Structure 1
Amino acid sequence: MTSTRAAGLVIYKNVNCLIEFLLLQTSYGGHHWTPPKGHVDPGESDWETALRETEEEAGLCEKDLEIHKNLNKTLSYNVNEKPKEVVYWLAKLKNPNTAVKLSDEHQDFKWLPLQQAQEISGFEDMKILLSEFHEYAIKLEGNKNVE
């Protein structure tokens, strides 16, 4: 069985030496929290999907972000007993005051530090991804005072 493909960006900002992740709450199903992501359209690359979905779902475009193209991870899991793969890239919001503009696919958003982001995400693989990307973000920020 072929996997459904999706792609997105795990976006963080550095506010007063604290790394915070952007999570969006879906307006459908169980109202779970996730980084901006979506299904890959026919003829579209994972990268193109990640950029398109982030702009559609959060109102953030490539110029708003410092995207670390070499930092990505693919999560594989089942949805309704069908395999799904989602590739995420790490991205930093250049201006931490840039407004998030939700689409109708989401009903809320939060900027959260690592532990709270992990708790609200609910899925073990996402908790691990956030932890790994948090470590990368600290290194990228080049500041030992960043948490």
Structure 2
Amino acid sequence: MSRRACGLIIFRRLNAAVSSKPNEIEFLLLQASYGEHHWTPPKGHVDPGEDDLQTALRETEEEAGLKSKDFDVLDGYQKEMTYKVKNIPKTVIYWLAELKDYAVEIKLSNEHQAFCWLNVDGACKLSKYQEMQEALREAHLFISTNK
């Protein structure tokens, strides 16, 4: 039996008022409050009757407090990963979403104990799984080439 989860890779662009590097891109990662305390973008399992994007939107609101009005989902980017968790196949689908206000408050659920905004190198370093690192680098490249 395979498990299916969906989520959003959320990013923000720092503007000149906040950073000496205007349009620097930062990704949101959440640290799980269970298991190995791994870092990932918001994601979760698909509920019965829910489509994949609905799941990604619901999970993002539940886990990070971000509503769909807080970001724009970008057309043309979707990343599907398949790996095993405790010998059970799991498929995770991510969409890419840009935060509208870089200062919006993140409100964590009890599933997570911390969050951070990091550039692509920092996010990849914190996210120890190769599939997630590849997804972040592909997302960064997509953002950089589709301004």
Same fold judged by TM-score > 0.5? yes
Structure 1 segments unaligned to the other structure (5+ residues):
143-147
TM-score relative to the length of structure 1: 0.93
Aligned residue type for 2:105: A
| 1:64 alignment partner in structure 2 | 70
In the alignment, the residues of structure 1 paired with residue 92 and residue 75 of structure 2 have an alpha-carbon distance, to the nearest angstrom, of 15
Question: What's 1:90 paired with?
Answer: 96
Moved more, 10-19 or 32-41: 10-19
Select which of 75, 81, 86 maps to 2:81. 75
Which runs of 4 or more aligned residues in structure 1 lie more than 4 Å from their structure 2 counterparts after TM superposition?
none
1:111 correspondence with 2:117: yes
Deviations 1:3-47 (A, max 9, x none): 100000000000132100000000000000000000001111111
Q: 2:55 aligned with 1:49, yes or no? A: yes
Aligned equivalents of 2:105 and 2:10: distance in 1? 13
Unaligned runs of 5+ in 2: 15-21
Match of 2:34 among 28, 39, 64: 28
Give the count of matched residue pairs: 140
Identity between Structure 1 and Structure 2 (%): 51
Deviation sequence 1:61-94 (CA, Å, 0-9, x none): 1110010143111010000000000000000001
The residue number in structure 2 matching 1:6 is 5
**Taking structure 2 as the reference length, what is the TM-score of the superposition?**
0.93
